C-alpha cells in the first residue's frame, strides 16, 4: 500500500532542478550587473572627455606640436596633442593670416582585455601666430 505524497527521491530531484535554475538566473544577473558597470564607466569617461574638450574651447591660442596630459578622477588618463594641419598662407593680400591645427584627445583606461585606448580628433583655426604662446599644459593649468 502506497501513501499519498512525494518520495524523498522526487523531492531531491525537484530541489536540484530548482537550484540549477536559480544558479543560472543569478549568473545572468551577475553578468548583467557587470555589463551595466562597464556601460556606466564608459558613459563617465565620455562625459570627462567632453569636459576636457570644453576646457580646450576656452583656450584662445594653441601652438602646433604641443601636448598636455593628466589623469581623470576615475583613474583613466588623457593626453592632448596638437599637430599642424593646414599651414598658414605666406603669400597673397594678407600674409600669415592663420592656420588650422588638429588636436587629438587620447583616452586610456584599464579594460577587460588590458589597456583600452580611444582617440577623439578636433580641429582649430588659429587666426594668427604670435611668437610667444604659453604651452598647452600651462594654459590648461591656468584654467583650474
- Does the pLDDT of residue 25 top 90, yes or no? yes
What are the residue ranges spanned by the domains of the chain? Answer: 8-143
Q: Confidence class of residue 43 from pLDDT cuts 50, 70 and 90? A: very high
Q: Which three cell numbers stand for residue 139?
A: 594654459
The whole-angstrom separation of Cα 5 and Cα 84 is 84
Asked whether the beta carbons of 106 and 78 are under 8 A apart, the reply is yes
User: 8-58 and 136-143 are packed helices; what angle lies between their axes, rounded to 10 degrees?
Assistant: 110
More confident residue, 107 or 143: 107
- Is the full-model pTM beyond 0.85? no
- Does the pLDDT of residue 92 top 70, yes or no? no
**What letters, b where the CB count within 10 A reaches 16 and e where it falls short, cover 61-85?**
ebbbebebeeebeeebebebbbeee
The whole-angstrom separation of Cα 126 and Cα 96 is 11
Amino acid at each position: 500500500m502506497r501513501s499519498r505524497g512525494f518520495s524523498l527521491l522526487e523531492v531531491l530531484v525537484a530541489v536540484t532542478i530548482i537550484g540549477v535554475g536559480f544558479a543560472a538566473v543569478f549568473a545572468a544577473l551577475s553578468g548583467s550587473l557587470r555589463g551595466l558597470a562597464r556601460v556606466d564607466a564608459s558613459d563617465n569617461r565620455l562625459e570627462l572627455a567632453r569636459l576636457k574638450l570644453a576646457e580646450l574651447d576656452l583656450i584662445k591660442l594653441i601652438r602646433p606640436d604641443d601636448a598636455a596630459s593628466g589623469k581623470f578622477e576615475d583613474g583613466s588618463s588623457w593626453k592632448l596633442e596638437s599637430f599642424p594641419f593646414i599651414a598658414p598662407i605666406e603669400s597673397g593680400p594678407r600674409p600669415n593670416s592663420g592656420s588650422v591645427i588638429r588636436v587629438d584627445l587620447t583616452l586610456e583606461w584599464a579594460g577587460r582585455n588590458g589597456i583600452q585606448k580611444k582617440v577623439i580628433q578636433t580641429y582649430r583655426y588659429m587666426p594668427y601666430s604670435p611668437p610667444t604662446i604659453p604651452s598647452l599644459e600651462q594654459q590648461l593649468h591656468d584654467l583650474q
